[in-house]
């Protein structure tokens, strides 16, 4: 058995422990190390597949894109809710054929789509790779499919290829 089966989980847990017990003392540092080293062993019992990040740079770029999109779509949805007329909006379901298959990347995509209000992940069929989205306001369905595929799916496939 390797020492660190899930390096990202170990780092995350140790960091969370330190954040909870700030300011950092030698004792809490030791405990954080212990937590980071031992707890991921539990994941072996769950037989989770370890996550491999191929392109950290692309991950950062994606995080930037998502942050900008999040703020922008928050403002858009707030305008829809507080706006006067609600009849002119086109709302409905959009089906997107996804090429992404990696489970962790898919869950990350679901977090991204939820974090940008205005899109809601309704259903994903793992056999056909078809994702059903509900979109609050879309001018044109084709544009949405392209938007999700270009902005989020392609970077995710690059990162977790």
C-beta separation of 106 from 152 below 8 A: no
Among 43, 77, 102, 149, binds another protein (CB under 8 A): 77
Rounded to 5 degrees, φ, ψ at 149 are -70, -45
How crowded is the C-beta side of 65, counted as CA atoms within 13 Å? 18
Cα-trace Rg, the chain: 20
Q: How many CB atoms lie within 10 A of CB 96?
A: 19
Among 60, 71, 143, 161, binds another protein (CB under 8 A): 71
Instruction: Indicate whether 130 belongs to the interface with another protein (CB under 8 A).
Output: yes
**Which of helix, strand or coil describes residue 136?**
coil
Among 44, 68, 128, 142, binds another protein (CB under 8 A): 128
CB of 57 to another protein, least distance (A): 22
Cβ-based nearer residue to another protein, 39 or 132: 132
Cβ-based nearer residue to another protein, 137 or 158: 137
CA distance 43 to 49: 9
Report the interface residues with another protein, using CB under 8 A.
Answer: 16, 19-20, 22-23, 70-71, 74, 77-78, 81-82, 86, 91, 93, 95, 107, 110-111, 113-123, 125, 128, 130, 132, 134, 136
């Amino acid at each position: 058995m390797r020492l660190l089966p899930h390096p990202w989980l170990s780092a995350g847990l140790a960091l969370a422990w330190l954040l909870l017990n700030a300011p950092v003392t030698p004792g809490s540092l030791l405990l954080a190390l212990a937590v980071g080293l031992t707890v991921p062993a539990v994941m072996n019992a769950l037989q989770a597949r370890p996550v491999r990040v191929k392109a950290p740079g692309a991950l950062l770029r994606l995080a930037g894109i998502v942050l900008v999109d999040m703020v922008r779509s928050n403002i858009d949805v707030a305008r829809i809710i507080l706006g006067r007329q609600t009849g002119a909006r086109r709302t409905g379901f959009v089906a997107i054929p996804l090429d992404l298959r990696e489970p962790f990347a898919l869950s990350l995509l679901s977090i991204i789509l939820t974090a940008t209000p205005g899109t809601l992940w309704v259903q994903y069929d793992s056999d056909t790779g078809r994702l059903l989205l509900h979109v609050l306001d879309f001018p044109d369905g084709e544009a949405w499919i392209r938007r999700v595929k270009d902005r989020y799916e392609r970077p995710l496939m690059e990162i977790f290829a």
